[in-house]
Chain A
Amino acid sequence: MKFGVVVFPGSNCDHDAWYAVTRNAGQQAEFLWHDSTDLAQSDAIILPGGFSYGDYLRCGAIARFSPVMQAVKKFAQEGGPVMGFCNGFQILCEAGMLPGALLRNAGLKFVCKPVELEVATTDSPFTNAFSKHQRLTMPIAHGEGNYQADDRTLEALEAEDRIAFRYVDNPNGSMRAIAGILSDGRNVLGMMPHPERATEPSMGSSDGLGVFHSLVGAFATR
């Protein structure tokens, strides 16, 4: 399976995503430059963490206008799987591909530490290898990860089983302890924790591999 890893100016987890996919998940990966609309026949797209375009204005606010995002939107509309980690999640919200917004952490500080997550649904191509309520450890590293949405959106996310992960101990003030959500087509995942940084024991956890394995499994049986 081939993953396209988008590189925006200021992306800095692009290489980590590439490494996790190629070295630890055993799949192929290719970098996709932000000003091209060519997704290089990727089977899945990763929007990596970092500070795209310096995160000026608002996190992800400028990245949504880049040429590659027009192609990524189209790819997702056609059912292609798209994952946004950290800054990637922020970009997906800014681009309207996921509902809600990510505000400054409740503690007003950047936080980098491993956190415990609970798998909220296994009904998605990104979480089918987990079991429901399974506890996972993955790191967070963000200043703006405080997930906010209006009540109607939150109710819809719950009702449609589109909350992918919840924090066990909410580190940033996110509503309903939401750490990751799915699009209504269930083929777009946004999450603040970094699964790519939890793919081998020396990173402190291998739990993030499950996200990649889920997708590879879903791809094989599609």
Chain B
Amino acid sequence: MKLTPAEVSAHRLTWSEYEKIVALLGREPTFTELGIFGVMWSEHCSYKSSKIHLKKLPTRSKLVLVGPGENAGIIDIGGGVAIAFKIESHNHPSFIEPFQGAATGVGGILRDIFTMGARPIAVMDAIRFGRLDDKETGARNKRILQGVVSGIAHYGNCFGVPTVGGECVFEASYDGNPLVNVFALGVFRHDEIFFGRATGVGNPVIYVGAKTGRDGIHGASMASEEFSEESKDKRPNVQVGDPFMEKLLLEACLEAMKTGAVVGIQDMGAAGLTCSTCEMGSRAGTGIEIDLMHVPQRETGMTPYEIMLSESQERMLLVTEKGREREVFDVFRKWGLDAAVIGSVTDDALLRVKDRGAVVAEISNRALADEAPVYNRPHTKPARRVALDAPAFGSSDLAGDLRKILASGDVCSKHWIWEQYDWMVRTNTIVDPDGRGPGGDAAIVRIKETDTSVAMSLDGNGRYCYLDPREGAKLIVAECCRNISTVGATPIAATNNLNFGNPEKPEIMAQLVEAIEGMAEACSFFETPITGGNVSLYNETLGEAIFPTPVMGIVGLLKTATPIPSRFRNAGRTVILLGGLGDSDEVRMGGTQFAKVVVGALWGLPPKLDLHYEKGVQAAMREIAQAGLAESAHDLSDGGFAVALAECSFGGIGAHVTLDTPLRPAVALFHEGPSRILVSTTDAAAVQAIAARHGVDAPAIGVTVEGRVTVNGWIDATIDSLYLPWKNSLEEALA
């Protein structure tokens, strides 16, 4: 059968890719084989545009047990215990069907964690939406936000994993392309680690979990193209999630692993049965032969093409020792799950798919999993359509500006969101004593039966990266590490989610390359190797790309202890600005919340980062925390000093502050220069001594007081007048 160019391009393969397929096979592919190549060689599965640049990322340290290439990275946290974690995007499905798109995003990343043998103990999400107040798209953006949040809540809550943190940003650039990035982290002992490897010729290949249906066919390819007017017709490409099934699958898989009969296991995520079979074979250097007649099916009359490409959720593929199938089947039966032997491991390194005995596909596993084309796509200069110079800006009402920023979407309280998430199931989440919620600057989850806790932080900043992808990426890494350090933890490893536009456009490709290189430099510097992650390209609607939005997830370790709150605790304490007042010119104000909310513009450059100084501030902060000298600590980020000071005051204790600075008031208050943390203490001298030892400034800038926030003659406000706009604005916007 000769395939037509139209059939080839319908699978998002170029003609030269098709010719490569013919050369690898030594013949024309069948239609089923074309489908299989189409998903495995899609951008989503093959990383063909990003692969050569991802190699620049640091991936090793003495704590890294498993780096990129497996379902999740694994880090040793001591005492024979390890953590597995990764972040993944579900951007495209969440735009088309927000609730199910986000829900299955959570489901997918959870499977990545427990397929390795780890029990998921925390989820965080980085979500980005269009403007809620936009005349044209506002109503739709609200629906997407509500759908995404309830989808995450539905899946995580029912599954029984706490959603402990994250971030939420609103931006015109996401009007037609929301971002949903979900991070998950699990814990296990070193001897409980499993891999997705089909070892042992003759061993049975077992399918377990939900039956295969026609949902989600071409999901991976859909995630590899831009949105157009027709995208809403792709709703059937979005999968439907069942968190109850996933919970059963979790318990059953962890129990089956304990039998000792399981030799390899992999979840069926993007590209479903296709991806799991060929990757398990490729990693082990073996072949896999399956017959589709044994695959449990939800619908009748499914073709081999549909079965192989289905992305039905909550399915796993296992290889067990031959003769020990029964032990595994008994566990699955106990949990009420369907399991079936669908094939076996072979020695010929091929993926051979049969349908009632007749071969419908026969492809080298390596060709599918590892020999996808790799492109060094042309990249010029990052796209930039804003001025370098600042417009004239000033302020006649600094307290009013502060209130505006506090009430703005990116800065305001997200309790409307996180109260819908069960953030404390499993009782490992360390509760912030004042916030009465999960975590302060970083979420903290303790590992029971050890004295260790894991701190984790997610951060991204599309504005910074639009202005300078390289510097923006570094700032994001620095911010995450600073969050981790502010709660007294040491950053140890990272995962990244790279959300960008169409890589076939040289100026978009340039954003990707610059961001990866910046991230590589900063992650090497902070000794946080990247152990895995996800690349989401083609985030464009009608030719308009999103801001380049790399999102970092960084984890750190600390001894389990009462957490340092971010809010001031008592009046009469000294307020220290660890790291100093910072510096900024007007050009570097262009990516700040002040520019966005007060001036209503974007210009210039992101804040200036000195990596060495940042590291000193973080080291000093950890030492201050460990010495028990910080009664509260909160890092400066979006909105700069004034926003951080207001947030520190929301427990009812404010501060009387004097900034001794040559900067204009608006710049001094709202610039977002990094490397700064607000600390309140009873022992200013000891804090300053530690700071001095690390070579960083730590001016005492004021004293905590009841009920008010004052800064120079610039701001004098009651806490309530700042707190209420911050607390209520998201709820009001959605009402």
Contact = CB atoms under 8 A, between A and B. Distances in A.
Interface string B402-429: 0000000000000000111111111100
A112 B446 contact: no
Q: Which label, helix, strand, loop or mixed, suits the secondary structure of the B interface? A: loop
Interface string A109-120: 111111000000
B336 A9 contact: yes
Contacts of A197: 424, 427
B427 A112 contact: no
Contacts of B560: 202
Contact of B158 (A10, A16, A113, A139): A10
Contacts of B422: 110, 112, 141
A93 B263 CA distance: 44
B427 A114 contact: no
B562 A16 contact: no
A141 B426 contact: no
A112 B423 contact: yes
B244 A139 contact: no
Interface string B186-207: 0000000000000000000000
A54 B158 contact: yes
Interface stretch (B72-80, B431-439, B602-610, B704-712): B431-439
A54 B427 contact: no
A203 B424 contact: yes
Contact of A204 (B244, B248, B336, B431): B431
Nearest to A111: B419
B158 A51 contact: yes
A100 B620 CA distance: 57
Contacts of A110: 150, 153-154, 157, 420-422
A104 interface: no
A63 B488 CA distance: 44
B449 to A, nearest CB: 10
A171 to B, nearest CB: 10
A204 B159 contact: no
Given A15-B426, A16-B426, A204-B433, A51 B419 contact: no
Nearest to B444: A202
Contacts of B245: 54
Contacts of B437: 113
A193 interface: no
> How extensive is the interface on chain A, given as a class?
20 to 34
Contacts of B150: 109-110
Interface in B147-201: 150, 153-154, 157-160
Nearest to B432: A204
B242 interface: yes
A114 B158 contact: no
Interface string A74-91: 000000000000000000
A9 B430 contact: no
Given A19-B448, A203-B427, A204-B433, A112 B421 contact: yes
Contact of B420 (A12, A19, A109): A109
B472 to A, nearest CB: 33
B425 A13 contact: yes
Contacts of A201: 562
Nearest to B429: A203
A172 to B, nearest CB: 12
Interface in A108-166: 109-114, 139, 141, 143
A112 B427 CA distance: 13
B21 to A, nearest CB: 42
Contact of A12 (B159, B242, B421, B436): B159
A56 interface: yes
A196 interface: yes
Contacts of A49: 425
Contacts of B336: 9
Contact of A19 (B157, B160, B335, B427): B427
B272 to A, nearest CB: 22
Contacts of B421: 110, 112
B131 interface: no
Q: Which of B248, B426, B427 has the most CB of A within 10 A?
A: B427
B247 interface: yes
12 contacts: A12-B159, A16-B427, A51-B158, A54-B245, A110-B153, A110-B420, A111-B419, A111-B420, A112-B419, A202-B562, A203-B424, A204-B431
List the 5 closest pairs (A to B, CB-CB), nearest first.
A12-B160, A54-B244, A204-B431, A51-B158, A141-B422
